[in-house]
Amino acid sequence: MPAEKSEKYVENRPEQRCYKTGTILLMYTVGASIRYWLIFSRYQSIIGNHIEVSTPLNSWKRVSEGLYLQSKGINPYEGDLLHEAPVTMLLYRTLTQSLKLPVEITFLIFDIGTAVLLYFIARRYMFQLFVQQEESKEEYSEDSKEFLLAGPDFLNSPVFVAAAFLFNPYMVFNCVGLSTTVFHNFFLALFLCSMLYGSILLSTVSLAFCTMMSLSKIRAFVTVGVFILVMVSLKYISTVLSNGDAFIKNVYGFILTVPDLQPNIGLFWYFFTEMFDHFRDLFICSFQINATILYLIPLSIKFRNDPFLLTTAVLFLISVFKSYPCLGDVGFVLSLLPCFIHLFNYSQQGFLVGVIFLITTALGPILWHLWIYSNSANANFYFGVTLAFAIAQIFLVTDILFAYLKREFCLKNGKDRKIDGKDALLILE
């Protein structure tokens, strides 16, 4: 079925036109109300001060102090206080001072805006899967009909994605704790949405903002060219705003060299606390290569036919291996999982991963309190929890990728997993 006809077919389906709009609006209203109540409650300061939510990179307290120093004509990048790019500081100043929006309401608006974008991201992705399925039916095995996506899958997935974001405790805490990851997630969602809808300019601009903050060949070259142009422009604007390039060391140098070893849910802090200083440069390079380019090329080659799945996998790996991760990074990627509802039947680690997430999420604050306040534990206890949390994320992303390969194999070869008459063993390489 041609893409134009299939799109018209999807849009004209009765259940697509009248799908419980009131229920969706109620879901967004409840999600916003929970955030609003917690932000203006006595729990806000408790949540905002937790290291799982607030890091040196996304702390709103640091941003507030930086804005105050700028208002007094003091360069906030001269010390070790601020690690936000000048362009994003301009955004924060515009929102809070020029537009005079209350800080709490600003965070709430951007967080709900992200949830809205995720709904359309999932809807567009499911539409693309429908088009791909219709165009490839002739290549599928005759007994693979049960593996095909059905109507409820296309309709429910966007709602599940929005719900997974709105009612995900990680995302609720991220918003209530006034973590600037809220803004990063908004531009990241804007990038994913514009990417799926084929907007080169909007996708590259939003990706450039994400980078500043923490498909033909011609089209690919144009995309890369526009991205480089936008990045150079933002770099120039940042240099003008900060009256120099001192911000580079405080923003990007801070991320790459990891000088602040304050505990967080990542893997860097404990390792570099225990390491001898003369090995630091070697392992900094090793860790950062592992966090950025090590998996990018092989995954891009293997999953080039599904760019959205590839992007999700890369985001998962970034949330595991970045220098200063927080719950907002993990929660955002977890919210995208309902987009792959068609892969759940092929996954094997779902129960194990879910249990580890629950246990580590509960134990993290407990062991932190025992270590810091009660003096009845030590750093090994807390790092053990963060290590298990990272392992759960790795199990999850590998399980999803393997499930994708198994489903593709079943669609083309049917239920009978045999090659040349012999039983086949599917291996992820």
Distances (CA, A) of 178 to 53, 62, 65, 85, 133: 9, 11, 14, 17, 42
d(CA 308, CA 193): 10
pLDDT in tens, 154-196: 888 899 999 999 999 999 999 999 999 999 999 999 999 998 8
Inform me whether the pLDDT recorded for 12 exceeds 50: no
Inform me whether the pLDDT recorded for 417 exceeds 70: no
d(CA 383, CA 80): 25
- Quote the pLDDT of residue 423: 62
Domain of 385?
3-423
- Quote the pLDDT of residue 209: 77
Longest dimension (CA), the chain: 77
Angle between helices 169-176 and 21-39 (to 10 degrees): 50
pLDDT confidence band for 422 (50 / 70 / 90): low
d(CA 424, CA 150): 28
> Token digits for 425?
């063993």
Report yes or no on 207 lying in a domain: yes
Angle between helices 169-176 and 181-196 (to 10 degrees): 130
CB crowding 87-108: b at 16 or more within 10 Å, else e: bbbebbbebbeeeeeeebebbb
Q: What is the CB-side half-sphere exposure of residue 277 using CA atoms within 13 A?
A: 1
Between residues 200 and 186, which one has the greater pLDDT? 186
pLDDT confidence band for 200 (50 / 70 / 90): confident
d(CA 88, CA 206): 12
pLDDT in tens, 107-145: 999 999 999 999 999 999 998 888 888 887 777 777 767
Domains of the chain: total: 1
pLDDT in tens, 234-283: 888 888 887 777 788 888 888 888 888 889 998 889 988 888 888 888 88
Which contiguous run of DSSP H or E holds residue 13?
A: none
pLDDT in tens, 351-388: 999 999 999 999 999 999 999 888 888 889 999 999 99
pLDDT confidence band for 421 (50 / 70 / 90): low
Report yes or no on 251 lying in a domain: yes
Contact 206, 187 (CB under 8 A): yes
Report yes or no on 79 lying in a domain: yes
d(CA 167, CA 170): 9
Q: What is the CB-side half-sphere exposure of residue 342 using CA atoms within 13 A?
A: 27
Beta bridge partners, 113, equal none
| Residues written for the chain | 429
- Quote the pLDDT of residue 419: 61
Q: What is the CB-side half-sphere exposure of residue 122 using CA atoms within 13 A?
A: 27
Angle between helices 217-241 and 86-93 (to 10 degrees): 70
pLDDT in tens, 62-104: 999 999 988 888 888 887 888 888 888 989 999 888 788 889 9
- Quote the pLDDT of residue 199: 80
Ramachandran region, residue 424 (left: φ > 0; alpha: ψ -120 to 50; beta: rest) = beta
Contact 121, 305 (CB under 8 A): no
- Quote the pLDDT of residue 220: 52
What is the distance, to the nearest Å, from the Cα of residue 376 to the centroid of all Cα atoms in its chain? Answer: 35
Q: CA quadruple 230, 234, 235, 240: dihedral positive or negative? A: positive
Q: What is the CB-side half-sphere exposure of residue 267 using CA atoms within 13 A?
A: 20
Inform me whether the pLDDT recorded for 8 exceeds 50: no
User: In 271-328, which ranges are E strands?
Assistant: none
Token look-up 């194990």 returns 352
Report yes or no on 429 lying in a domain: no
- Quote the pLDDT of residue 14: 37
Report yes or no on 428 lying in a domain: no
